[in-house]
Amino acid sequence: MPPTTTPLSRRNRLGAAVLGAAVLGAAVLGAAALVPIGAAPAAGTPPQRQQPQGQHPQDSRQREYAAAAAEFGVPESVLLGVSYLQSRWDTNAGTPSTSGGYGPMHLTDAARLATAAGPAHEHGEDRRGDPARPLPHATGPHAPGTAPSAGTPGGQTLDAAAALTGAAAPALRTDAAVNIRGGAALLASYQRALAGPTGRASDPATWYGAVARYSGSDRADAAAAFADEVYRTITEGASRTTDDGHRLTLPAHAGLTPQRSWLDRLGLGGPAPRPDGLECPRDISCEWIPAPYQAFGAGDYGNHDLSDRPGRQKIEYIVIHDTEGSYDTTLRLVQDPTYVSWQYTLRSADGHIAQHVRAKDVAWHAGNWYVNAKAIGLEHEGFAAQGTWYTEAMYRTSAKLVRYLAARYDIPLDRQHIIGHDNVPGTIPSTVAGMHWDPGPYWNWSHYFDLLRAPLRGVGTPRAGLVTIDPDFATNRPAFTGCETAGVPCPSRGSSSVVLHTAPAADAPLVNDVALRPDGTPNTMHISDHGARASAGQTYALADRRGDWTAIWYLGQKAWFHNPAGNPTAKWTAGLVATPRPGRATIPVYGRAYPEADAYPAGVPYQTVTPLPYTLPAGQRYAVGDVLPSEYYRATTFDGSSPGDWTVIRGDLRYVQIQFGHRIMFVNLDDVLLLPSPR
């Protein structure tokens, strides 16, 4: 049910402060219009983003879809709609998706991906993130980088396309025109198997069963959810420029009503009944595969903690992860009481979702107990380091789930609250280097927020004082290395990340993250070395500008990124900033917002408020994400028998969440002034 509203809650008070800063910004900026951050489009599909240049005249790619539709007797709208929900018509340079799919039609070759699976995250991490209860069993890196197998749903369609078209497998992977022919041949074969009408001029509504089968789903509800999303795309229409510069259009087919009865011929059975309490919107496929709450060993237990959120503690964050393994492997792990947990797992091929932990309970996923106690974790089938791409089907179901959870638990749809695992801070100095960095620089945050109907907005002038990172995903291609082999360049592909330098020049060294490199040496372009990059949607205070370069305050220093006016990689925006109070040369920065010692009841050990290896110097400003109470959820025993267990300890301290580096961090409210950002 929707959250209960209360008069001017803490969230609303902070929102009023931000709104006040925005109003002041409007006065300072004069004619510059302030667009509300998070405003939804009026109607229809999410807004289209700036697309790469170099479009092909009388576009050949559109003709290739038309030719394949004619050759195999598939309505062109169906072919384009299926392709859009798989890849948004992109080629991804012939590289596989996170489920082993190639090309615009996502022809799957999971057996090939399985042999190329990359390494797991390099660093270990206690994903419970609470040294108050050290865990004797392993809770460190994700599972080894196992990929989907050919036997998984949708796992091996490239071979079938090769048999139907006579095309060689390498061409089906890398040649867009051949790939489109393969997809059209598959759709036609599925329609023939269902004894449905064929021909390019046949009624698109009668292809519902073939479209559902194309998803590869082994569940009726998942196949139907995929087909419904394809038909929504066909009904609303779409137009965009692909990652290789082709302008494509799917005209809107208003009034088209798919004939869902064709789904029955797939033999998948009726929709599985949803268990009571399943926390998923009705228009996506979702099942309950519980993570075990189980005692074992000498007082040990796993793999999550019981609570009563939001009654006991407000949920502030939704954390986006990738699995670093296949969907099936991930499901096996979350059912292991000696492993760790998260609330949801999402499948790449069709976007199907499994829920494992109730939102009221605390899963062990983010490596920071303060964040875990206030977060919901979503694992997306995929690999951060390989450079594989995430399917549109998974992006869309993930966005629907996040919108549902955000509305239910009053979580703002912004990058201060919808965060990646790579944005979660270490808890104390010793844990910073081991924090994970998924979903990585290839997760398309800008597109994801379009799907959340909270597109990244700007105000048009640098006098606003803040910048929101927002590069064009398709053309922004940082030269990362080490996706598969250390030192070897990663495949050239679009990215949400911009790289940060010590000076306004491309050959200037990258900035230093002192917690990762205490010797002061620059960070590198290695794929996991994220201490010198910022990601789409993250907002920073403007520090300087020189020509095509913009500087932000980042980890206590100026950090420069290329931001030319003709092809900007950031948007100007306004809000609140935190800066040290007068007389303070520096202030400490924290990875968790814990209470002061006096707040702890007798018998409950004080959780030290330990600064991280960073300081925030006087004169610097950092974008404010929230003002938060100091809280510690005490949960150290299976049955809640330890003093203070299953209670939230609250103190008088209050903290300000800031975007300090690539990760969010916290400062004591008493140490800072909160000011409007306009300069």
What the chain holds in terms of domains, given with CATH numbers, is 8-37+461-679 (no CATH), 60-116+148-266 (1.10.530)
How confident is the model at residue 154, as a pLDDT? 62
- The dihedral through the CA atoms of 75, 81, 86, 91 has a sign that is positive
Cis? peptide before 303, omega within 30° of 0: yes
As given in the structure block, the two tokens for residue 175 are 């040649």
Q: What is the Cα–Cα distance from 247 to 60, expressed in whole angstroms?
A: 9
Confidence of residue 273 (pLDDT cuts 50, 70, 90): confident
Nearest to 556 by CA among 622, 466, 467: 622
Beta bridge partners of 634: 647
SS (H, E, C) 421-447: HHHCCCCCHHHCCCCCCCCCCCCCHHH
Segment 439-448 mean pLDDT: 96
**For range 642-653, the mean pLDDT:** 96
Q: Which residues contact 133 (CB under 8 A, 6 or more apart)?
A: 635, 636
Contact 392, 448 (CB under 8 A): no
How high is the pLDDT of residue 387? Answer: 66
Per-residue pLDDT at 648 exceeds 50: yes
What is the distance, to the nearest Å, from the Cα of residue 279 to the centroid of all Cα atoms in its chain? 19
Q: Whole-prediction pTM value?
A: 0.91
Rounded distance between C-alpha atoms, residue 296 and residue 363, angstroms: 18
Instruction: List, in sequence order, every residue forming a beta bridge with 102; answer none if it has no partner.
Output: 107
- Tell me the average pLDDT across 483-505: 94
Instruction: Find the mean pLDDT for residues 390-409.
Output: 97
Average pLDDT over the chain, rounded to an integer: 88
Predicted confidence (pLDDT) per residue in 511-523, tens digit:
999 999 999 999 9
Q: Please tell me the predicted confidence (pLDDT) of residue 124.
A: 52
Distance CA 613, CA 663 (A): 14
Q: Give yes or no for residue 312 having a pLDDT over 90.
A: yes
Residue 274 has pLDDT above 90, yes or no: no
pLDDT at position 26 over 60 = no
For the chain, state the CA radius of gyration: 25
Which of 40-44, 338-342, 440-444, 488-492 has the least mean pLDDT?
A: 40-44
Residues 6+ apart with CB under 8 A from 526: 480, 481, 482, 486
CA distance 208 to 223: 10
Q: What is the pLDDT of residue 13?
A: 41
Average pLDDT on 182-208 reads: 97
User: Poorest-confidence range of 23-37, 398-412, 597-611?
Assistant: 23-37
CA distances from 597 to 212, 389, 608, 651 (A): 58, 46, 8, 8
| 645-664 mean pLDDT | 98
pLDDT in tens, 100-112: 999 999 999 977 7
pLDDT digits (tens, 9 = 90+) for 32-45: 333 333 333 333 33
- pLDDT tens digit sequence for 52-104: 445 565 689 999 999 999 999 999 999 999 999 999 999 998 989 988 999 99
List the helix and strand counts (H, then E) for the chain. Answer: 13, 28
> What integer pLDDT is reported at residue 272 of this predicted model?
72
pLDDT of residue 269: 78
Burial letters 629-665, b for 16+ CB under 10 A, else e: bbbbbbbbbbeeebebbbbbbebebebbbbbbbbbbb
pLDDT band at 28 (very low <50, low <70, confident <90, very high): very low
Residue 23: pLDDT above 90? Answer: no
- Read off φ and ψ for residue 617, nearest 5 degrees: -75, 155
Summarised one tens digit per residue, pLDDT across range 522-572 is: 999 999 999 999 999 999 999 999 999 999 999 999 999 999 999 999 999
CA 217 from centre of chain: 23
pLDDT in tens, 124-172: 567 788 888 766 554 443 444 455 554 455 668 999 999 999 999 999 9
The reported pLDDT for the residue numbered 99 is: 87
- Confidence band, pLDDT 50/70/90 cuts, at residue 180: very high
User: Is residue 284 pLDDT above 70, yes or no?
Assistant: yes
Quick: pLDDT tens for 570-625.
999 999 999 999 999 999 999 999 999 999 999 999 999 999 999 999 999 999 99
What proportion of the chain, given as a percentage, has pLDDT over 70? 86
> Which pLDDT score, from 0 to 100, does residue 679 have?
73
Paired sense of beta strands 557-562 and 647-659, if any: unpaired
pLDDT of residue 142: 43
Each residue of 208-234: pLDDT tens digit? 999 999 999 989 999 999 999 999 999
